[in-house]
Structure 1
Amino acid sequence: MFEKIKNPILFQGNLNKKNYFEGWYFKQVSFDEKTSISFIPGVNLFSGDEHSFVQYIYMNLNERNEKTTKTGYIRYRLDEFSYQNEPFLVQIGQNIFTESFISVRLKDEQFMIQGKLGLGTFQSIKKTLLAPSIMGGFAYVPKMECYHGVISMNHRLQGSLTINNKDIEFTNGKGYIEKDWGTSFPKEYIWIHSNHFKDPSTSLFLSVAHIPFHVKTFKGFICNLIVNDKEYRFATYNNSKVSILDQTKDSVTIVFTNKEAELTVKGLITCSGELIAPENGSMNKAIKEGLSGEVTILLKDKKQNKVYQDTGNLIGIEIV
């Protein structure tokens, strides 16, 4: 049990669960930063509609610097889903996802996507017995609506994909991996990720969400920032505070504070597509996600009396 909790990339559920979902999020950005594509392999065990799937969200910047975003949801039978824990592997149809490579062969009305990408060394988050995952002690709490795992904040890519007969080179591009599992996404949340800052070693993940907790609800949040190999963690479970200064359907400003530091994040959606998210166990909730948003960060390290500013692009962002 503890082995699964501290290794969220592993399949956390089982195929006998009811009204359950589990999905991995593999994001890839080409070295020239003109193409971003995320694959979301997963299973949905909603009674009467049990199936597996691979979603994708694709962003391309053309020669005229125009952004286009396309999404798709490709269904597979449940018996086309298989997994193993050692070494980790998830296979859905002809699509394979592991810790060292992904291999895809996807086709729908608008896209044919095929190819294999090697995944470099993962940039992991800090873990302890009390905080075995990005969820801290909440990772041990049973029957939460949604569990979250951050698997790699940053890693290098190797290889190429062929998208509608066009070869896209991803060698020396960047990747990111996270996942979710449970019954439903939160009814309200903000999610931002970027590892494309001016300082290429910087990476950011954050989520602020409405969390049902037994008979109560609360605003839960997690933010993990890595700057110069130092990790700053702001979370509900480590006595940090959060303030949302302003929020629209396309932009948000959030301030996180704790004894160690203060972080201001401004996120902007610039081009988005529609993904399908779980609600009460069924994959039927449409959400808007951008892969080419912009983010600015201002970090004040209180202990070292230092200030760090940076801007990022090609961010993943959802404001629901």
Structure 2
Amino acid sequence: MNVLAAIAPIFALIVTGFFLKRISFPSEGFWPQAERLTYYVLFPALLLDKLANIHLGDQPVWSMALAMGLGVCIMAGGLLILRSRVQTDGPAFTSIFQGAMRPNTYVGLSAASGLFGDAGVSLSAVALMTLIPLVNVLCVTTLVRHGRNGQNGHTSAKPEKQAGGLLFTLRQLATNPLILGCIAGFALNGLELQLPSSIGEALRILGSASLPMGLLSVGAGLSFAALVKGSRDVLVSSACKLLILPAITGILCLLLGISGTALAICLIFTAIPVSVSSYILARVLGGDHERMAAIITAQTLLSALTMPVVLMLVI
């Protein structure tokens, strides 16, 4: 299977989105709304449609979840233990932390679909159901503790601040459209319910628009101006996300006996660049959003080189 041929269109669409944004086409206000449409409507429709008809068979679902979840926890624990060496400034550390583990689901689903078709999208649900809740809890907790809103990132947050962060996290998880789409799809599948053909076809049409629209939005969100600051932090976060995390996950997969498509999906969702939503979270919870923008841009560019290398080792 030609990994480069499958990955190249993904980054071609990202580059297209970048240039369309720079020439203000269709308009400046289009891109934020396009991202909202993709996140709240198109991607959930894709997941619901695929999961309602999923047949995982003998795929090692629980082993996949364990490998990816444990890999992220090892990365998070390592960064927290080495925080004094990684970055002493609290808000800047939160950007490194988010960049080291939050996945860009647009890129992940596109890569899984391009390489493995419907089977790849279906197995991607295992990654989404594992990583979205776990990463949100870890990142929100770290932002509450070390962000500007948490005593300038130098002392422990007050109990009410921690409680607010916990409630925020729970609300985020309970209303996350990707999680809700996965739950609805699994429910229909488990109950062996079939949607009316007209509704099913509508979901398929909506879902087919999600991947190109999502990738164009990723490109539109890139910011090269942000790269001039915090180059060391950008490199540390990028190395953690694009190389170390997939290496840890790959080793765990081998130890758990995961191979084939399941192994590739685990690596895809740990080797993809950081999500653009991390920038929004940094702004809301007092992180260093400018440094976060730099990390997002750098990782998106670097992943065009690192992802094919990582996947060629297992495909």
Higher-strand-fraction structure: 1
* TM-score (ref. length: structure 2): 0.26
TM-score computed with the length of structure 1 as normaliser: 0.25
Greater fraction helix? 2
Q: Larger relative contact order (C-alpha < 8 A, sep ≥ 6)?
A: 2
